[in-house]
Amino acid sequence: MPGSSETQNAPPLSKIELRERIRRQGLELGFDAIGFAPAVAPPGYPDMLDWLEMGQNAGMAYMERQAQARAHPRGVFEPVATVIVAVLNYKPETSSKPGPGDESIASKRTCGHVAAYAQGRDYHFIFWERLDKLLAAIQADLPDVRGRAVADSAPLMERDFARLAGLGWFGKNTCLIHKSIGSFTLLGALLIDLELPPDAPFEADHCGTCTRCLDACPTQAFEGPYRLDARKCISYWTIEHKGHLPDEAADDLHGWAFGCDICQQVCPWNRKPPAASDAEIRGDGRFHEPDLLDWLEMEPAEMKRLIKGTALERSKRAGLVRNACHVLAGNGASESLPALNRLAESDPDEVVRHAAARAAARLQSNSK
């Protein structure tokens, strides 16, 4: 055990032994993979600058504000010497679609999709808690080591460091693909000021000529391999964008009320990996194909309680109900008209009123 008299009396570990010990500790904390990368400039940084220059970050202005900080992990933690990358598998269970006798057409069309990563506890908290425990385990033996845990919470190009740490390659849909986990991977990192031997970077590309992810995108958000235009991405519009959805986006959500998994659902590398076993990641099922009519009829305080501690809090009630209105209209769910009309007339949030009125008008127009 760290800090025990037996450990204190043992000869000091070599840096390779220490690295492997930290890797084991990370796996014991519940991570699905751990890799070690050197603290260097991320190889994909020039491509990111080009992406920003072309405006493909859409309304995510913070990407531009943080661009310089992403040039090197020193922008996140100045004394960094090693980037420890942690992976969490969030692959959903594969479930068969209900047959004609299982549920009515009416009830199906009031349901929407929620991205698999958002169906459990907010992964930021999971990473922060576990990475802080990993840092504490390191400091139990090496008290002078300093570090910082990050998970989409700082301007670090985690995906680049995951590849440098030997954890996978970039799919053409820009997702990291781990050979045994697939692309349903969440990434976090622990930056420490102790230099450790890095893992061999992942150099191979196992996508070959496959373009299923690109071809499956219903909004043509990929201008080509490895190039995602957020201005056309369902995930961007349903999560990052605040306020009203433009007509083109509102009419093109394809049933997604939060995020989108389509490009991952078709990836051959996601067929064989096991589903996530972590209960915190899997969640309790409340966001698996939720009935969006319930979201429309839910009191604001109840909705706040429903999404508390999940990634859906990012969109807040206004964004979620806005998305639900547009999905219901796209699904042709005319049974939602009473709820939509009520929201359009009296909801306290102007974004919700606008979305509900537009959705109701679309449904009424389509029924003529």
- Torsion, Cα 344 346 347 350, to 10 degrees, reads 70
Give the whole-angstrom CA distance, residue 157 versus residue 162. Answer: 9
251 assigned to active site = no
Give the whole-angstrom CA distance, residue 247 versus residue 264. Answer: 26
Tokens coding 365: 């127009």
Burial code of 125-139, b = ≥16 C-beta within 10 A, e = fewer?
ebbbebbebbbebbb
Amino acid at 220: Q
Nearest CA among 247, 87, 262 for reference residue 182:
87
Burial code of 82-111, b = ≥16 C-beta within 10 A, e = fewer?
bbbbbbbbbbbeeeeeeeeeeeeeeeebbb
DSSP string, 117-172: GGSSS-HHHHHHHHHHHHHHHHHHH-TT--EEEESSSSS--HHHHHHHTTS-EE-T
Give the whole-angstrom CA distance, residue 214 versus residue 225. Answer: 7
Pairing of strands 227-228, 147-150: unpaired
Phi, psi of 121 (to 5 degrees): -70, 150
Residue holding tokens 């190009």?
A: 157
Query: Of 141, 152, 193, 349, which residue is the catalytic one?
Result: 152
Burial code of 313-336, b = ≥16 C-beta within 10 A, e = fewer?
bbbbbbbbbbbbbbbbbbbebbeb
CB count in 10 Å sphere of residue 21: 15
Nearest CA among 171, 253, 183 for reference residue 219:
253
Amino acid at 162: A
Q: Which residues are catalytic?
A: 152
